[in-house]
Amino acid sequence: MNIAELKHAQAGYVNTPLEYMPALTRELGGGPLYIKRDDLTGLALGGNKARKLNYIVQYALDNGYTALMTFGGVQTNHGRLTAAAAIRFGLKPILVLKGARPERLSGNLLLDRLMGSDIYFVDSSALDALPEEEREAAKSRHLEKCAARIIAEYEARGDRVLSIPVGGQTVIGSAGYVQAIPEIMRQMEEQSIQARYLVVGYGSTGTFAGLWAGAKYYHAPFEVIGIPIEPDYRPREETAAFINELSAFFDMGFTCSAGDLHLECGPAETPYGGVGYNEPDPVTQRHIELLARTEAIFADPCYTGKVFRGFTDLVRRGMLPGGAILMHTGGAPGLWSQEHLDPMQELFWSDETADRVHVMKA
């Protein structure tokens, strides 16, 4: 199947801006530095998952599904965009979120509720008492059982549920990122941009894999570099296997091995991915501030703040010579999630940080 001819819906916009970052380039030296604004894909405040969902929604419509179900953390951006895509195409949105129901509504969860998504919290905290070697498997089994029960309930009511894995990590979804490559190459040509690197987050890895495969297939003039968004990241071997699946499915004619994939994780003791998945840390918060202060662009604390941290470090160390593009994958609603708002008070709203904040009483 020729990937360029694969039919897709328009859940979100493509042709997002490719912009020069003049102030950041001046601040960091090196460069020139660019940003690809996939935070502006338009669907429910935008983000990378819109490109994947363009293809996944088309698949759902072509195959008679009536509901989209997906999985993620409580603050999943992918869940927000999947719910939005479902609504826009008359499908039912179902979110299966790993974790306890938070006391307060915030961030993505507020948006999920506003869209009327059906939300299921799969709270496995009772299984924390199990020995470590049994815990993860037991939690996975519990999640699978819950998902099967939810699907059965919908199907009993006459629905057909498309179950989309975490992060929209499917071959069909990644087609969206393969096809982002000719778009970026065209924009580079139109704007006379030279860039030797495209730096992107590495989470469930469909975005990285799609871009990597697209760069290979379309002979892009840049190398794709992945930055893991948590210290405990998906092994390269699994991503290479997924890329090979992608290549075979779309007849792309290449193979990939783990050693071909360029990841930059940062120093072992202070990785770019911070202290853990979606865990607040002041270094990432300072980097979110740097991008906002220089370019008035907002990164998020779970994904893009960490990728930006890696990007700036690589630039400072002279490892991205000849121009680099940062892929902004969205996520800004995470800034206002309770778990990130609370720790940011100390960094940006305490007495010591108040030199720019003035109160003028009558």
Ligand X SMILES: Cc1ncc(COP(=O)(O)O)c(C=O)c1O
Told to check if 54 binds ligand X by CB under 6 A, we report no
User: Site for ligand X (CB under 6 A): which residue of 70, 204, 312, 337?
Assistant: 204
| Gyration radius of the chain's alpha carbons | 21
Told to check if 306 binds ligand X by CB under 6 A, we report no
Site for ligand X in 241-300 (CB under 6 A): 300
User: Site for ligand X (CB under 6 A): which residue of 16, 54, 106, 205?
Assistant: 205
Side-chain-side CA neighbours of 128 within 13 Å: the count stands at 6
Site for ligand X in 134-153 (CB under 6 A): none
Strand ranges inside the chain, DSSP E: 18-20, 33-37, 67-73, 92-98, 118-122, 161-164, 197-202, 223-228, 262-263, 324-328
Q: In what order do the strands lie in the sheet with 92-98?
A: 118-122, 92-98, 67-73, 161-164
User: Site for ligand X (CB under 6 A): which residue of 207, 239, 278, 337?
Assistant: 207
Per-residue interface string for the shown chain with ligand X, residues 155-174, x marking contact by CB under 6 A: ------------x-------
User: Site for ligand X (CB under 6 A): which residue of 71, 197, 202, 308?
Assistant: 202
Of 31 and 337, the one with the shorter C-beta distance to ligand X is: 337
> Structure tokens of 25?
């380039």
| Longest alpha-carbon distance in the chain | 72
Place of tokens 């907002």: 298
Told to check if 308 binds ligand X by CB under 6 A, we report no
Told to check if 107 binds ligand X by CB under 6 A, we report no
Q: Phi first, then psi: what are they for 11, rounded to 5°? A: -75, -40
Least Å distance between CB 351 and ligand X? 33
How far is the C-alpha of 162 from the C-alpha of 241, rounded, in Å?
A: 24
Told to check if 59 binds ligand X by CB under 6 A, we report no
Alpha-carbon torsion 329, 287, 291, 262, what sign?
negative
User: Site for ligand X (CB under 6 A): which residue of 203, 280, 305, 310?
Assistant: 203
Told to check if 310 binds ligand X by CB under 6 A, we report no
User: Site for ligand X (CB under 6 A): which residue of 197, 217, 233, 303?
Assistant: 303
User: Site for ligand X (CB under 6 A): which residue of 16, 25, 41, 48?
Assistant: 48
13 DSSP 8-state letter? -
Residues touching ligand X: how many (CB under 6 A)?
19
Told to check if 239 binds ligand X by CB under 6 A, we report no
Of 202 and 311, the one with the shorter C-beta distance to ligand X is: 202
How far is the C-alpha of 68 from the C-alpha of 46, rounded, in Å?
A: 18
How far is the C-alpha of 329 from the C-alpha of 36, rounded, in Å?
A: 9
Told to check if 16 binds ligand X by CB under 6 A, we report no
How far is the C-alpha of 261 from the C-alpha of 256, rounded, in Å?
A: 8
Point out which residues bind ligand X (CB under 6 A).
47-48, 77-78, 167, 201-208, 300, 303-304, 329-331
